[in-house]
Structure 1
Amino acid sequence: MGSIGQIKRGNLVDSVKSALAISGLEPQYLELELTESVLMIDTHAVINVINELKTLGVSFAIDDFGAGYSSLGYLKQFAINKLKIGQSFIQKLSCGKSEDNAVVQAIVQSGKTLELQTLAEGVETLEQAEQLIQLGCGNGQGFFWHQPMRAKDFESFCLNQMTI
């Protein structure tokens, strides 16, 4: 998501509206990520921006949930759609310690209880993907599925996937 400066200046909503108009993207296909630090700086301003963008159909995720100053109380105030489980937690799944699994499972369960989606960031191995499924997290992103790519390569990739 934009910086706290954009939120304070009041031009983030206009920037998003402009980007949607130029791209032709329907708002329901746009998900903006918020960091915990942005949420904590000017809570009232952030809530107003989120609410305004949500009325357009834009959705929101908290990036690296649990890695900073997470507060379950804030999740209700900010009308978040998704919790993104930080890569640091996912990497620890491979260590086999039950407490590492418990942290991920707690985030996933919190998401389910609050009716939020969860997504694991930084999934690099089949073992991690399988563990996440066992823990109830069926969404992930990371090198396990594909390396990052430029926009034009992504377009070709998607078109090739649809023809298979």
Structure 2
Amino acid sequence: MSEEHLIRTTVNGEERELLVSPRETLAEVLRERLRLTGTHVSCQSGICGVCTVVVDGDAVRACLTLAVQADGCEVRTVESLGSVDEPSELQRAFIEERALQCGFCTPGFLMLASWFLRVRPRATDEELLEAMSSNLCRCTGYRGIVNAVRKVRDTAAARAQTQEESS
């Protein structure tokens, strides 16, 4: 039986109601139903991380998450970070540090990094490297990715320090 279920979810700040089948993944719904194609799909087993999105504040693999599990949740995709005309600080750092080549894994890394920087703003370099190594990239060798995330972390820490000193 594949009876459809009505889910209500907020995707990138926009409330959505969708009828989904019990077997549909969040990645399928984001890409095919909502046309948010920044969420890529590759291994479909959760290993590569290209499908990483943030659900209720946690980084998750959208290829392993059933769409019905997103009922009542807030979902953020790479489209929430910025735009071509106004990239986020993290997206600019990826460009400046040459943290992408083919770009296929980039959305997953951006979402993983945005989540990680939010939950561990004072992470050590070792913690940052460990977190980023949970996603796979076949092109860059990770140096640019780690440098980009480190750059954003350090800039945010410097801003926070300046704010503390001026308070």
Relative to the length of structure 1, the TM-score reads 0.26
More helix by share: 1
**Normalising by structure 2, what TM-score?**
0.26
Which structure's relative contact order is higher, taking Cα pairs within 8 Å and 6+ residues apart?
2
